[in-house]
Structure 1
């Protein structure tokens, strides 16, 4: 009788240990959930805001889903994948009208809309880079040193910014790169025409904020019609004005004005004629120096 009880107790103990071993998750599975390797799509460095991390997660979910690059994709009435159009300069885009996906700025728009619940970065790459929602800006010469996951990296020139991507950390970025490919994780490309980066302010826009009007209106390196061009607004745009000053008299579209505003996000000047409001903007200080 005693032997039977002992055997039963020993058997129960062994069965309990076996159940415990079967229940405990393997250490490798646990690590796969909590860490990201450099080749994976995800937040690969610390320090990013919660909103920036959500933007990375939204973009990476599209990578994981195998979503296509498609020219013009993601620029519908609401953020999200759309069918593209044919890029006349790229033979590889012939199937873009058949593919539901994003172009580079369409992906950025979608990622930050998912992160914030608001369509805060609607527009092409240049509009996104020059956004009044920039919390910080970084030059090409600074490289990736000061960047955090979720920062936006842009390529091109001041007159033609043609590509934008989301930084992940560890020298990686997620992007919609070109027709014929799917959304991908890439090594950061700092050479060539890399232009710079910015950190997105997902809160309230600060400073003196105005709307422009007109189309094809150029900003300039100095408050003068003859100064070098920086960027042309394709249409009405939200801008942040740092200060204004009296300078060269401009006559255009039936208005004459000598007031110019400095736009810090463009590092450029714009005649007040094309900024909605009075000829001398209310509440904006006079530029000094």
Structure 2
């Protein structure tokens, strides 16, 4: 369940793995770009969301780098080569962010570090307060909302500014910029992040390349892989198939409603049977 042999798959899932960290290079918020001005462009956002927008806008002009921003602490890191993208050849030499690394950094500056993980994890975070479908377009969105793209698995995420604009780390060979929101293709919708309060049933995972399953059994179909530690919401837990991994044996499994999947409690930080979590029917 947690092996090093899936390294290439892990890189693809993350858009790169973390490397050396460095302090962010401050830039001037509201820096004009070819696509427009980076700032909060509409009223109504929470103070946390406005701080996240400001933090992302400070990074205008910083390199996109595949895997950038996923170090132990939020901030730019050197990237990795994406085997499927020739434009990423120089990413190991570039200090910057990938799309989810930028989102993580922005919300870490505003509210701790609530959005670890890749774009898919961020879109399904237990810190999501409200969801918006692709059909709703930008009408109900506020600055700081996260726009996402992907069919099935989310592969890109950006921060809404208002007025049909967003700030994003888009792809290798480009720099963080303001763009027009793209509602075509595989646009999946948007989410609003809640203020920094502890969501009920929120726990942290640990380990690398940890798979969730459709049923509480390792022989049931795999659903989603956590390349590294992330925050999840647990709805309930139950005793099911005993699992031995990482030197532990446990028959407790937890249900993750955002993923529609089960994870062995071995990879959830806490007691073998989690305190304060109800038993599944």
TM-score (norm 2): 0.74
Distance 2:80 2:226 in 1: 23
Distance 1:235 1:101 in 2: 20
**2:192 pairs with 1:199:** yes
Q: In the comparison of the two structures, how many residue pairs are matched?
A: 246
Residue deviations 1:103-159, cap 9 Å, x none?
Answer: 21221122122223x33323332332333322223344443333221011222344x
Correspondence for 2:149: 155
Which consecutive residues of structure 1, in runs of 5 or more, have no partner in the other structure? Answer: 1-32
**2:50 pairs with 1:56:** no
**2:36 pairs with 1:42:** no
| Offset at residue 279 of structure 1 (A) | 4.7
**2:203 pairs with 1:210:** yes
**2:98 pairs with 1:99:** no
- Which residue of 104, 109, 112 maps to 1:114? 109
Correspondence for 2:241: 249
Q: Tell me the secondary structure at the aligned position of residue 153 of structure 1.
A: strand
Distance 2:151 2:156 in 1: 10
For the 8 Å contact 1:132–1:205, the answer to whether it is kept is no
Residue deviations 1:176-217, cap 9 Å, x none?
Answer: 101121212222223333333222224122212233344333
Change in Cα spacing, 1:210 to 1:114, as seen in structure 2 (3 Å) is closer
Correspondence for 2:74: 79
| Offset at residue 255 of structure 1 (A) | 2.9
Rg (Cα) greater in structure: 1
**2:127 pairs with 1:133:** yes
For the 8 Å contact 1:132–1:240, the answer to whether it is kept is yes
TM-score (norm 1): 0.72
Choose between structure 1 and 2: higher helix proportion.
1
Distance 1:139 1:145 in 2: 11
Change in Cα spacing, 1:217 to 1:178, as seen in structure 2 (3 Å) is same
Change in Cα spacing, 1:170 to 1:285, as seen in structure 2 (3 Å) is same
